[in-house]
């Protein structure tokens, strides 16, 4: 078997290990680990690596995984996350990318249909580049009118955006996004409320459009722009203000709960949007925020909606069951560790137990099956 040292480095980084830690696990020196990862050892103990990291030994012989750097991601600043955690999260994303590439090679998935800023706006004035205007133009291009979005996750998947879950142990990094080989990706924390998850998706959609090719490092101006885009996309001004049929002085907090359920956003996001649009006064904003905070709406959504799930992953698992293929077979065919696949799917679909089906292997079809996504 040909050993690829870059695979060992990837596994070590995904585990959050230093070279010293790996050396201790293997009862060798740090220099030996360096030699392993530099390809300077003719016959490294690949079986030991496979056992240690719980992967098939063939994983260590595959070609290099997709290349990705934390600077390519719309990612929280390293000062708050830490360089080692960032490296760990990027390693997990690289493995998910590898699975995504296998997915596109074996199934017909939606083409990318995400316009650039140049497609959305004309450079007639500085105002043309506002996040609010960009969100309005994208809704027009996607024919969404000014009504609430029924299912945010399905909408993005239908337009070719690939969505995966952040592993539970890494969810302090929150959501992030990036472009790779012409496809946009969003990684989300599925433990959040459904409303906040929808806002995260819209926020990362803003990054993908507004900041493509920009290393944002989660700097405040970029985050404000992404939030403005998300608010405008989920709660378009024309549609929202049309629902406000009374004067701002007559709006009550209970009206906010009706409106936020209609638009499928958090109560906090609804109050902030109404304030930004001038529909409520500063007095209302401050007092309602205090009231919502006291009732737990800053930490979650006590009367929230049902979480959205991935139609793409659900369709993939349904097709796999039809072909009598389990997660273990997917792992073997894609070369991606089964744990990585499970983590990428967690919270996005009902994932079956990772057992071998034992049934017949599917024959190669002349046309790859299409994974259906409707909205």
In sequence order, what are the residues at sequence separation of 6 or more whose Cβ sits closer than 8 angstroms to the Cβ of residue 250? none
Q: How many domains does the chain have?
A: 3
Q: Write the pLDDT tens digit of every residue in 233-244.
A: 999 999 999 888
pLDDT mean across residues, the chain: 88
pLDDT greater at residue 299 or residue 4: 4
Residue 55 lies in a domain: yes
Residue 135 lies in a domain: yes
Which stretch of 89-93, 186-190, 255-259, 354-358 has the lowest confidence by average pLDDT? 354-358
Q: Is the pLDDT of residue 365 over 70?
A: no
pLDDT for residue 73: 78
Residues 116 and 178 in one domain: yes
Residues 26 and 116 in one domain: no
Q: Write the pLDDT tens digit of every residue in 96-126.
A: 999 999 999 989 999 999 998 888 876 655 5
Cβ(163)–Cβ(201) below 8 Å: yes
Question: What predicted TM-score, i.e. pTM, was given to this entire model?
Answer: 0.90
In sequence order, what are the residues at sequence separation of 6 or more whose Cβ sits closer than 8 angstroms to the Cβ of residue 8? 36, 37, 44, 49, 60
pLDDT tier for residue 341 given thresholds of 50, 70 and 90: very high
CATH code (residue 6): 1.10.260.40
Residue 351 lies in a domain: no
Residues 123 and 53 in one domain: no
Q: How far apart are CA 225 and CA 24, in angstroms?
A: 46
pLDDT greater at residue 275 or residue 219: 275
Residue 315 lies in a domain: no
Q: Is the pLDDT of residue 10 over 80?
A: yes
pLDDT tier for residue 276 given thresholds of 50, 70 and 90: very high
Residues 222 and 253 in one domain: no
CA atoms within 13 A on the CB side of 89: 32
Task: Give the mean model confidence (pLDDT) for residues 265-290.
Answer: 95
Q: Is the pLDDT of residue 129 over 60?
A: yes
Domain with 181, as residue range(s), is: 105-232
């Amino acid at each position: 078997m040909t050993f690829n040292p870059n695979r060992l480095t990837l596994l070590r980084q995904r585990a959050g290990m230093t070279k010293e830690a790996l050396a201790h696990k293997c009862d060798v020196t740090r220099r030996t680990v360096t030699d392993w990862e530099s390809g300077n050892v003719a016959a490294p103990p690949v079986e030991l690596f496979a056992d240690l990291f719980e992967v098939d030994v063939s994983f260590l012989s595959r070609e290099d995984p997709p290349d990705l750097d934390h600077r390519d991601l719309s990612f929280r600043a390293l000062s708050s996350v830490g360089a080692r955690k960032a490296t760990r999260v990027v390693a997990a994303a690289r493995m998910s990318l590898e699975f995504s590439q296998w997915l596109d090679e074996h199934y017909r998935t939606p083409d990318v249909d995400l316009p650039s800023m140049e497609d959305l706006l004309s450079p007639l004035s500085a105002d043309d580049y506002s996040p609010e205007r960009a969100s309005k133009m994208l809704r027009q291009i996607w024919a969404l009118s000014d009504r609430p979005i029924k299912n945010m996750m399905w909408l993005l998947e239908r337009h070719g955006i690939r969505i995966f879950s952040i592993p539970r142990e890494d969810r302090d990094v929150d959501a992030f996004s990036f472009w790779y080989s012409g496809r946009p990706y969003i990684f989300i924390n599925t433990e959040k409320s459904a409303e906040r998850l929808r806002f995260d998706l819209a926020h990362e959609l803003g990054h993908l459009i507004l900041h493509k090719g920009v290393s944002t490092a989660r700097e405040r101006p970029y985050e404000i722009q992404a939030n403005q885009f998300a608010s405008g996309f989920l709660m378009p001004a024309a549609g929202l203000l049309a629902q406000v049929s009374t004067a701002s002085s007559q709006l009550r907090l209970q009206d906010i709960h009706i409106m936020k359920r209609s638009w499928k956003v958090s109560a906090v996001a609804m109050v902030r949007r109404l304030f930004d649009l001038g529909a409520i006064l500063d007095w209302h904003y401050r007092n309602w925020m205090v009231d919502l905070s006291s009732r737990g709406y800053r930490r979650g959504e006590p009367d929230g909606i049902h979480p959205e799930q991935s139609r793409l992953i659900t369709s993939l698992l349904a097709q796999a069951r039809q072909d009598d293929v389990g997660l273990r077979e997917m792992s073997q065919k894609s070369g991606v560790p089964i744990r990585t696949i499970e983590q990428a799917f967690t919270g996005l679909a009902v994932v079956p137990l990772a057992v071998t089906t034992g049934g017949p292997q599917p024959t190669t079809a002349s046309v790859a099956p299409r994974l259906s996504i409707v909205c």
